[in-house]
Amino acid sequence: MKSLIFSGILMPFFLVITTQTPGFAQSGTVSAEDVLRKTSQKLNSLEGLHYRYHRELNYVSEGIHNEMSGACFLDFSSVNPVLDFRYQFSNADILAVFNGTEKFECDRKSKTLRVTGQPARRNFESLSFFYDSPVTYRNALPILLTDASVPKTVLDTAVDAKPFYAVTFTLKQKVIDYLGAYRPITADRSIRYRLLIDKATHLPVEVIQSNNRNQDFTKTRFQYLDATASPVDSSWYFSSYRNEYKLVNPEDEKLQIIPRGQTAPDWTLPVFDRTTELTLSQLKGKVVLLEFWIRNCGYCVASVPDLNALYNHYKANGFELLGINPHDSKKIIAVFKQKIQPEYPLLYDAQDVAKHYGVGMFPMVVLLDKTGKVLYSGEFKRENVAKLIEENL
C-alpha cells in the first residue's frame, strides 16, 4: 500500500508573503493550477490515508463556535460503487465505519450500535468528519482544475520555517460539498477557500473557508499518520461490536427467520463461477444446508473452515451445502473466494431469498431435510448442525 507519513505538529499558521502575483508563487515559476494538479495527482494515487482530523467552526454572525477532532483511516483500494472507498473514523464519542457493504456507528456514550445495510451515497453526504477533508479535495480538485471560470492564486508561505503553498480560489453562489461536488446556494454570496499545501508531500494540511458577507469562517486541519498501520480485519464488521454495544433500530432485525417444520420457499439463483443456475427443488432427496453470508462479516469469514469440513465430510452421502450471498457483487465474491477459499458452491443475487427466509443478520443457516422442510434455522454451530445432518441423511 502506498502511504505517507507526516510527523509535524500543525499549529495555527501565519503567512510570510514577499510577493503577491496572482496565479504564481513567489518564484514566479509555479502556477496555482500546477500546485493543485500535483495535489490532485497525489491524493488520487494513494491507496490509503490515515490522519488526525480537526474541524473548527467559527460562525460569529450566529454566536457559534464548535470544534471536533478524531482519527480517520481511508482505504481507496476496496471495490465499492457507492463511495469508491472504505473508512473508519474514531474519537471519544463515536466509531463510524463503512466497510463497502454496511455503514454503522457505535455511540461510545450510550453504548448503542446503528447499522445501515446497502447505504446510498446520500447517506454519506453530511458526515461531519468529511467536511473540507482530504476526501473532499480528492474529488473536488479534478473539477476545479477543469473549471476556467474559477480564478486561482498561489503564494509561498511558511509555518515554523517549513515551506508551504497557500492556494486561494473563490466560488460564486456555490460551495464544495462534503464529498467534493459543487452545490449551488441561493444567497448572493462568494465562498473563498484557502488551502495550505505541504511543498514536500503535495498534500493539503489545512483548509480555511470564508465568505464575502461576514466574518464567519471554518478551519480544518490534517496531521498525516502511517497509512500502512491499517485497522485489523475484524474492526470492519459490526458483528465484532455486538457484545459491547446494543443494536438499536436495525431494520433487518424486524425479520423473523423461517421456523422449524416449515417448508422452505423455492428459489432459482445463479451459481458463482458457473454459467448455470440452481433451483432449490432440484435438491429434493438431499439434506441441504443454506448458509447466508456477506463479505464484510467477521463471523462469516470465521465460519468457512468449519463449513468446509462439514461439506467435505458429508457431500458423498447425499448432503449439499450452499453459501448464499444477498448483497455482494460478483467481483467482491471473487475476492472473498480467492482469499477465504470456501470449497462449497456460492450463490448470489439472493436479496429476495434472504427476505423470504427472514434473514437479516449474518451469518445465518437454514438446514433442510430431504423433503425441503426446515430442521434448524439460526446461528451456525457446527456440532449441533452436524448432529442433525447425521440423523437425517
Residue 344's CATH number: 3.40.30.10
285 and 211: one domain? no
What confidence score (pLDDT) does residue 300 get? 86
177 and 312: one domain? no
Question: Rounded CA gap, 83 and 70, in Å?
Answer: 20
Residue 41: how many other CB atoms lie within 10 Å = 12
Domain contains 103: yes
3-state secondary structure at position 97: strand
| Domain endpoint, select from 224, 243, 271 | 224
Question: Rounded CA gap, 147 and 139, in Å?
Answer: 14
93 and 208: one domain? yes
| Domain endpoint, select from 204, 224, 244 | 224
CA-CA-CA-CA dihedral for 239, 270, 120, 230, to nearest 10: 50
82 and 133: one domain? yes
What confidence score (pLDDT) does residue 204 get? 98
Domain contains 112: yes
| Exposed / middle / buried, residue 135 (Cβ in 10 Å: 0-12, 13-18, 19+) | buried
194 and 284: one domain? no
212 and 315: one domain? no
161: Cβ contacts below 8 Å, ≥ 6 apart = none
Question: What pTM value is reported for the model?
Answer: 0.69
Q: Which helix (H) or strand (E) holds 307?
A: helix 298-314
Q: Which of 386, 327, 313, 318 is nearest to 361 (CA)?
A: 327
What confidence score (pLDDT) does residue 152 get? 96
Question: Rounded CA gap, 171 and 179, in Å?
Answer: 16
Domain contains 5: no
Q: What does residue 177 show for φ and ψ, rounded to 5 degrees?
A: -80, 175
Peptide bond just before 151 cis, omega within 30 deg: no
DSSP 95: E
CATH number at residue 46: 2.50.20.10
Question: Rounded CA gap, 348 and 366, in Å?
Answer: 16
Per the structure, the complete domain to which residue 215 belongs is given by 32-224
Domain contains 176: yes
CA-CA-CA-CA dihedral for 122, 124, 130, 136, to nearest 10: -50
What confidence score (pLDDT) does residue 389 get? 96
Q: Which residue has the cell 511543498?
A: 199
What confidence score (pLDDT) does residue 60 get? 85
168 and 114: one domain? yes
- List the pLDDT tens digit at each of the 393 positions of the chain: 333 333 233 333 333 333 333 333 344 579 999 999 999 999 999 999 999 999 999 988 877 888 999 999 999 987 677 888 999 999 999 999 999 888 999 999 999 999 887 888 989 998 999 999 999 999 999 999 999 999 999 999 999 899 999 999 999 999 999 999 999 988 889 999 999 999 999 999 999 999 999 999 999 999 999 988 889 988 999 989 989 999 886 554 567 899 999 999 999 999 999 989 999 999 999 999 999 998 877 778 889 999 999 999 999 999 999 999 998 888 889 988 998 999 999 999 999 999 899 997 888 999 999 999 999 999 998 999 999 999 999
| Domain endpoint, select from 224, 246, 276 | 224
User: 139: which 3 cell numbers?
Assistant: 474529488
| Exposed / middle / buried, residue 189 (Cβ in 10 Å: 0-12, 13-18, 19+) | middle
Q: Which residue has the cell 518564484?
A: 27
60 and 154: one domain? yes
Question: Rounded CA gap, 47 and 77, in Å?
Answer: 5
Domain contains 343: yes
Q: Which of 165-188 are b and which e, b meaning 16 or more Cβ less than 10 Å from the residue's Cβ?
A: bbbbbbbeeeebbbbbeeeeeeee
Domain contains 143: yes
What confidence score (pLDDT) does residue 250 get? 53
81 and 158: one domain? yes
Residue 62: how many other CB atoms lie within 10 Å = 9
Question: Rounded CA gap, 25 and 309, in Å?
Answer: 65
214 and 324: one domain? no
192 and 268: one domain? no
78 and 139: one domain? yes
Domain contains 240: no
Split into its structural domains, the chain has a count of 2
Domain contains 194: yes
